[in-house]
Amino acid sequence: MNRVEANMVGFEIVAHAGDARSSLLEAISAAEKGEFDKAEQLVEEAGESIKEAHNAQTQMLAQEAAGEEVEVGFIMVHGQDHLMTTLLLRDIVGHLINLYKKG
């Protein structure tokens, strides 16, 4: 996979992780207002976006594992950063929603 192809995967990961992040932040706001069904739906939507980002990442990992050279540039690193911070946010949002439910 050349750098241009890797960059395209990186952009795809950024887009999906960004969608997930937006849904997760909306979920916190919904939970804060006591709209728990909406919050849970937004977390599910985020999960679908995370799945899409993960699928793009897995495609690249599989190619490298198969022995194909993968040229990774800063855009791909940026995509990985977005995905990892979004995964962390997902975990935190789950805990926050539970805290708001108890509140």
Q: Which residues are known to be catalytic? A: 78
Whether 17 and 82 have beta carbons less than 8 Å apart is answered as yes
- Give the chain's end-to-end CA distance (angstroms, integer): 50
What phi and psi, each to the nearest 5 degrees, are found at residue 79? -60, -45
Residue 27's nearest CA partner among 12, 57, 49, 11 is 49
Cα–Cα distance measured from residue 75 to residue 66, given in angstroms and rounded to the nearest whole number: 22
